[in-house]
């Protein structure tokens, strides 16, 4: 799956799971831009990931991990964390 599409799915999933609407993000993003992100039409900067995650109420890494779990459906959370932990040690 394309990275932008995976990010969009992860973003929408986390947003909906927290009961938030696209309008709830109006302080950090226009509804049009958020919709474009969720549909995988636009890319996102690290700063925007931080702002979106803050609005959702999660750590930015949560949003990135959710994205990569979507991107590679064969990945499992524990495997991904093990890889990251090993690379950071």
More confidently predicted of 32 and 75:
32
Q: Identify the pLDDT of residue 55.
A: 97
Tokens standing for 35?
């919709």
Query: Taking the mean position of all CA atoms in its chain, how far away is CA 45?
Result: 11
Residue 74 in this model has a pLDDT that exceeds 80: no
Q: Which domains does the chain have, with CATH numbers?
A: 3-88 (1.10.260.40)
Element (H, E) at 27: none
Alpha carbons within 13 A on the beta-carbon side of 10: 26
Tens-digit pLDDT profile for residues 20-70: 999 999 999 999 999 999 999 999 999 999 999 999 999 999 999 999 999
Tokens standing for 3?
């990275």
Element (H, E) at 38: helix 31-38
């Amino acid at each position: 799956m394309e990275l932008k599409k995976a990010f969009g799915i992860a973003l929408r999933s986390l947003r909906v799971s927290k009961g938030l609407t696209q309008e709830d993000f109006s302080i950090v993003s226009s509804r049009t831009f958020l919709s474009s992100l969720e549909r995988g039409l636009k890319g996102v900067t690290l700063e925007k990931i931080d702002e979106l995650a803050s609005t959702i109420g999660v750590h930015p890494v949560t949003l990135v991990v959710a994205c990569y779990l979507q991107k590679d459906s064969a990945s499992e959370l524990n495997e991904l964390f093990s890889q990251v932990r090993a690379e950071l040690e």
